[in-house]
Structure 1
Amino acid sequence: MRGAALAGVTLLAMAMPPASAPVAAQGKALGCMAGAYTGEQDARLDALADEAGFAGESDEADGELAGIVMQAVESCVDGNGWTQEEAMYAAFYELGRVSEAAYRNSGELSEAQLGNVDEALAKGDRSRLWGIIERGLMNGMASGDGNSGISGGDAMTLGAFVTGTGIGSDEATAEKVGVLLGFMALQRLGRREFQGLQGE
């Protein structure tokens, strides 16, 4: 998902009017969105795994995926009375969740490679790694062109992680791992900030 698409999602979320709902309904979890898709939308999301901008230029597919996600977010805003800021972070979470699932099914990384990445992430303290990736996401969103601005020591940390997975350290492989981590980090960021706003 490119920085421009993510920036567009942010603008759409911030443009949503906050819905009115009983206080008891406002604690509805982020899982609301996973159940908000129609069968047709679920099928289209599956198809977009082959079309979204993972390996090349496909802004149209990126935009369609983001549009489907925003419909689910809007449904949950209407039903749960989320504020505009909560809606924005809910959109980050759901966009990351759906995009990660699509990417894992896209074939960009094999099942064995995905397993190596997941195993490496489960080892040790990865807070610095996630912090680097989250900053890169925010930089890419601010620039609107997907440029993360990751360089210097941060780039070395990311490179060391990719090398440590054992799946290869060439530029193409590193970029693929970076895309996966970006989607995962988007979920982490969205979940953390959403839950913080709700006092969880």
Structure 2
Amino acid sequence: MQNKAQEFDSIAEEVFAPLYPVVAEQILQITGKESGTCLDIGCGGGHLGLEIARMVDMRLVLADISADAVELARKRVGGWGFSCIAEAVVAGVHSLPFADGSFDLIVSRSSVWFWDDHLGAFGELMRVLAPGGIIFIGSGFGKQRVKQAVIEKMRERSPEWPKKVKKKTGAEHTPQTIADTFNQLGGLTEIFQNDCGGWVICRK
């Protein structure tokens, strides 16, 4: 029987896989980052961060509060042949075991809605972000064709999935409220939003 991390990873592999390279490319195009160190926080099995590492010359840290998810991410790091540039660690966003200014790029897809204290969590992200670094946080599919393909497959697996997603990403935490919280912490934010998703870009 699969644990929750294995269940999520199975869905990532079988359904969401096409979106990760598209979103990774989008992130890199928007941020212009090509080197340094990247943190994928709330990484799950590590797909997004590893796609970024595949595209540019960046060191990578994959972090998740779930030890089961981190174990899957570690196996994927080895399987992709990235052990020399990537590591996976158990870490919660509210207490990150990294020095100030450790990361040039911080990414997180679809994790922010699971975080209880946004002010505390975003404060930690700002702390470990290097001067001139960028946080790219939110959720999206990259392209409309990818979005439709994922939605169709997920509906086959779980007809209630679209409703659950809409409820999870509802009015309580929108790109605007996320941006407002980063602004409180001194970040310079902008919102990137279209029919494929919504992201907050925060610069330090």
TM bracket, shorter-chain basis: under 0.3
TM superposition score normalised by structure 2: 0.26
TM superposition score normalised by structure 1: 0.26
* Structure whose CA Rg is larger: 1
Higher-helix-fraction structure: 1
Which structure ranks higher in relative contact order (CA pairs < 8 Å, sequence separation ≥ 6)? Answer: 1
